[in-house]
A and B are shown apart, each in its own frame.
Chain A
Amino acid sequence: GAGVSQTPSNKVTEKGKYVELRCDPISGHTALYWYRQSLGQGPEFLIYFQGTGAADDSGLPNDRFFAVRPEGSVSTLKIQRTERGDSAVYLCASSPGTGGADEQFFGPGTRLTVL
């Protein structure tokens, strides 16, 4: 079946602009995670959704970052007033969300470049 997909694959924007990154999880997966991966680093947790609600958004670096998942499937990560330090690969992952330890399935990521 289809895996996790993310669009766009690449996004180049100018400092101060607004961007939206989209994640389409595996059908039926209730748990959805957003991560940020900088060059040479491991994925850094940003936010976790269980269904439609953000169960943990403690990883969002500041109030310029926001994420939604209105129907419990597709999620959008929104970044306002982008800064050069926001440049990174943004990864989305989904898992069945049974409440225990599930395997995560990653999307291909969106490479964000802020000029």
Chain B
Amino acid sequence: GENVEQHPSTLSVQEGDSAVIKCTYSDSASNYFPWYKQELGKRPQLIIDIRSNVGEKKDQRIAVTLNKTAKHFSLHITETQPEDSAVYFCAVYNSGTYKYIFGTGTRLKVLA
């Protein structure tokens, strides 16, 4: 089955700096790659997603890049702010199995 690895597990950056979180997956049939932000005690919220026919997508300070050949995708947050502090999860979806497999999460701390 699908295996998703996410790195790093924790990340501390200074306010205004950039943060990058990376995920790798194993099933080449996976075709949808969402990223979720989860604040303490809250539900996961979708922040950006990318589909397999696109290499990069940007939404203001957030971007996601996908390399299907290498089977990895990354979340980029620029000009980080304290309110970006949360746990971020990548996920991989396979439309053949209808299953989402999540990474283990990255705890991002933005230091003011």
Contact = CB atoms under 8 A, between A and B. Distances in A.
Contact of B98 (A50, A105, A108): A50
Nearest to A6: B43
Main secondary structure of the interface of B (DSSP, over half): strand
B68 to A, nearest CB: 14
Range of interface residues on A (Cβ < 8 Å)? 20 to 34
Contact of A31 (B45, B51, B89, B98): B98
A1 interface: no
A111 to B, nearest CB: 9
Interface of B: 6, 31-32, 34, 42-46, 49, 51, 89, 91, 93, 95, 97-105
Interface in A43-89: 43-45, 48, 50, 55-56
30 contacts: A31-B98, A33-B100, A35-B102, A42-B89, A42-B102, A42-B104, A43-B44, A43-B89, A43-B102, A45-B100, A45-B101, A50-B98, A56-B98, A56-B99, A91-B44, A99-B95, A100-B95, A101-B32, A101-B51, A101-B95, A103-B34, A103-B46, A103-B49, A104-B34, A104-B100, A105-B46, A106-B43, A108-B42, A108-B43, A109-B43
